[in-house]
Structure 1
Amino acid sequence: MDRRRWFWALVAAGALVLVSGFVVAEPARGDATVRVMTYNVRGVNDPPPRDWRTRRKLVGRLLGRHDPDLLGVQEGRWHQIRDLAEMLPDHRWIGLGTQGGTKDQILAIFYAKRFEVLDFDHFWLSDTPDAIGSASWGNRYVRMVTWAKFRDRRTGAVLYQVNTHLDNGSAESRMKSAELILRRVRGFQAGVPVVMTGDFNAAAGASPVYTTLTGAGAFQDTWTTAQKRSTQYGTLARWHPPRRNGRRLDWILARGRVRTSWAEIDPYRVGGLYASDHFPVVAHLRIG
C-alpha cells in the first residue's frame, strides 16, 4: 500500500496520524547549526508538586533556554503535547499515540519552521511493526518509533530524525528493538544523514543496546563526538539532584555527515523542583 492510501486507511480506522503543519515560511534567524534535544517529559500520574500542572512552567522555561530546532519527546500524553505546542509557537509537530490516534503515550517530533517535511512514518517495536499498538518480546508497554525526513530551508540539507523510547522492563525487547530500528534505518534514502533521539533505558557505553546501535556502520554518539560538552550527569535522576558521571539513558545518535560542536545534559530545576524525572540532552549539529 502506498503512503497516501495508508494514511487515509488510518483515518478511516480512527487511528489518525497526527501531523501539525507541513509547509510554512522559515523565520529569519540563526546560522546553519541545528539544535537537537531529546526529552522524556514524564507522564501525568504524579502527585503535586510533581504533577504536570506544576511542572509545565518549568518545562516551558527549559525549552526556552535551549530553543531546539528538532525536539524528540517521549512519554507525552495528548494534553501535554498540546501544552508543548503552545510553548513552542514557532514549531510544528508530528506524532502518534502508541495505541493509535491520541491514545496512550505519544512519540512526537517537534520541528522548527525552517524545516520542510518531505516524508514521515511510524512503526511499532514488535514482530508486526506495521500493526498499530502491537507488542512483542516481553514489552511492559507498547513501544514504537516516529520518524520524519526534513529539508532544511536554511541550508538545503536533507536529514532524517528518528525518535523512540525502548522498553524499561525487557532486555530482550530492547535488543530486538535496536535491531529492528537499524533494519528500518538502512531502508532510508542512501547517503542522507540520520539523527536519532530517544530514551533507550540502557546505559551508554557498555550496554548491548548501545553497542548494537553504535557498531560498525551504524550510529555515532554525539556526546562522545562533540568538540565540547557540559558536565556529564545521569539522565534518569528520579527527581533527585544530578549525579556526576551517572548513567546516560537518553541519547542523541547520528549517522552520516553530521558534526557535533556542543553536547549538554541540563539538570534544570527551580528550588528543589525538577521539570521531569529525566534530564534533557541537547546537541548542536552541523548536517552535511
Structure 2
Amino acid sequence: MRSSRTRLARVLTAASLAALLAVPTWTSSPAASADDTDSTTTAASSSLVVATFNVRCANCSAKSNNSREKSWAVRSDVVVRQILGEKVDVIGVQEASPGLLHGSAYGDYDGKSQFENLVGLLGSPYKVTNDVRYNCTRTGTTFTRCGGFQDRGASQDSRIIYNSNRLTLLDSGSLRLDSRAIGNGSARYMTWAKFTDQNTGKKFIFATAHFEPGVSKSKSAVRVKQVKKATAELADVNTSGLPIIWGSDLASSKLTHVGNKSYDAFIANGFVDPLGNSYKAKTIPASAELTASTAVNEEYFTLNKFNKAPTTYEGRGYKLGAHLDYILTKGDVETTAWKEVINLDSSGDFAGVIPSDHNMVRATVTLG
C-alpha cells in the first residue's frame, strides 16, 4: 500500500505556547564556536542557524538502568537551554514522542505529548510546523485509541520546530516511511516544511526523519529504502528548485561495519555533507566546505549513550568523529560553521545533566 503523504496548503494555527523559559547562563562547550558574532551584523542577519537533535523519548528514559539518564522532566530543561543558547532558527527533533506525559512534574503539560511539552518550554516565538499528534480520527488520546486512519500531516516523533519571528511557514507535509500499522507507536515518518526567511526573503525547505536503527545488513537496506522515499518526496514537493536542508538521525555512521549506506544514499541524491564525513574518513577532507577552524567538537561521536564522557576514536586516528546525526544540504546553500553542542567540565566529562543519548548538531548556513 502506498505511503500516505499530506501537504498543508495553509499554515496550521498552533495552540498558544507557554511563556519563554527563563534560561541561566549556559556554556555548551569549552571551545568557542567559530561563528560567534554579533547578531546585529549583516553577516548574522543573512545567515540561519539550523539544527538536529534526537531528544530521546520520555518513555525510553523511564525504563533506563543508567543513573546518568534522568527523566524527561529533568532533561527537558537542558534540551531547551541548548536550543535557546544556540539561537536556533529551525530544528528537526527526533523521538519527541506524540505519546502523552503524565505526572505533576509536567504541570500544564500533564496529559499532553512530549513534543508539545518541548515547544511549550521553548516558548514564544517557537512553534511546531504541525501540532497534530496522530494521523487518525481522534488525536487527543493515546495512539492505541485514536480510531481509524485520517491523514492529518502528522509525523509521529519527528517534528520541525522553528522561530516564527525569523521564519514564515509557507507549507508543510509528512510521509510515512514504513508499513507499520497506524496504531504502532514505532511507525516512522519524515516531515518537511517550506519557509521564507523574513530577513532576506529567501525560501528554502527543511526536512527531518528518524530512520530505522540497527547495524545488520537488513536494517541498512531498510534505511536506504527510507532515504529513497524521503528524497523522492522532497523532489516532488520542491517544484521551485529551492535549497534543501536536511537534519536528522541517520541511524548509521562511517564506522558501521556494513557501511554508512543511508548517508551514501543522500550523497548519491545530490546532498552535500559540509564536513565530508564519508565512510572511514579520518579528517575533514580538503574538498569539504568546512575546515577544522569552522567546526567545533567534530571529533566526538554524536551518540553518547549517557556515558561519563563523550566518545572519540582519536586513538585509532579519527580526528573527525563518527556521527549518527547529520546536517546535509542540497542546492544553493553555503555552510559556514558546524558545532556538536556538548557541555564538558575541565576533565572532559559531561557536566551536569546530559540532555539526551545523542548530542545536538547545529550549523550556520547562508542561502544563495
Partner of residue 317, structure 2:
none
In the TM superposition, residue 158 of structure 1 has moved relative to its aligned partner by: 0.6
1:149 and 2:194 are equivalent in the alignment: yes
Match of 2:295 in 1: 229
Unmatched tracts of structure 2, length 5 or more: 1-5, 16-38, 99-112, 144-155, 277-288, 313-319, 345-349
> Superposed, which structure 2 residues align to 1:118-267 within 5 Å?
118-126=170-178, 133=182, 141-169=186-214, 170-187=219-236, 188-204=238-254, 206-215=259-268, 217-224=269-276, 225-227=289-291, 228-232=294-298, 233-240=300-307, 241-244=309-312, 245-267=320-342
For 1:38 and 1:6, the matched residues in 2 are separated by 22
Deviations along 1:92-133, one digit per CA (max 9) or x if unpaired, are 112354665476642211111221111111110036xxx983
**Hey, what does 1:107 align to over in structure 2?**
158
Aligned residues: 262
Give the structure with the higher percent strand.
1
Q: Is the 8 A contact 1:259 1:285 kept in 2?
A: yes
* Structure 1: gaps (5+ residues): 9-16, 22-27
SS at match of 1:20: coil
Partner residue of 2:115 out of 73, 77, 81 = 81
Consecutive aligned runs of 4 or more in structure 1 exceeding 6 Å deviation:
5-8
The Cα shift of 1:222 comes to 2.9
Q: Which of residues 14, 20, 24 is equivalent to 1:20?
A: 14
**3-state DSSP class of the match of 1:239?**
coil
**Contact 2:7–2:174 (CA<8 Å) still a contact in 1?**
no
Identity %: 24
Equivalent-residue separation in structure 2 for 1:125 and 1:98 (angstroms):
15
Counterpart of 2:364 in structure 1: which amino acid? H
Contact conserved, 2:175 with 2:233, CA < 8 A, in 1? no
Contact 2:210–2:248 (CA under 8 A) maintained in structure 1: yes
- Cα distance in 1, alignment partners of residues 133 and 355 from structure 2: 22
Q: What residue number does 1:278 align with?
A: 358
The answer for the alignment partner of 1:35 in structure 2 is: 49
**Quick one: structure 1 residues 207 and 19, their matched pair in 2 at CA, closer, same or farther if it must change by over 3 Å?**
farther
2:72 counterpart (44, 47, 52) = 52
CA distance in 2, matches of 1:250, 1:58: 19
Using the alignment, how far apart are the partners of 2:163 and 2:272 within structure 1?
24
CA RMSD of aligned residues (A): 2.9
Judging changes above 3 Å, is the alpha-carbon distance between structure 1 residues 7 and 116 closer, same or farther for their aligned structure 2 residues? Answer: closer
Structure-1-length-normalised TM-score? 0.81
TM norm structure 2:
0.64
Question: Does the CA contact (< 8 Å) of 1:98 and 1:144 recur in 2?
Answer: no
Q: Which SS does the other structure have where 2:190 is aligned?
A: strand
Partners of 1:280 and 1:204 in 2: how far apart? 18
CA–CA distance in structure 2, aligned partners of residues 63 and 54 of structure 1: 16
Shift of 1:197: 1.1
Task: Report the Cα distance in structure 2 between the residues aligned to 1:277 and 1:166, rounded to whole angstroms.
Answer: 16
The amino acid of 2:273's aligned partner reads D
Contact 1:39 1:279 in 2 (8 A): yes
Q: Is contact 2:8-2:173 (8 Å) kept?
A: no
Q: 3-state DSSP class of the match of 2:359?
A: coil
**Partners of 1:119 and 1:229 in 2: CA distance:** 32
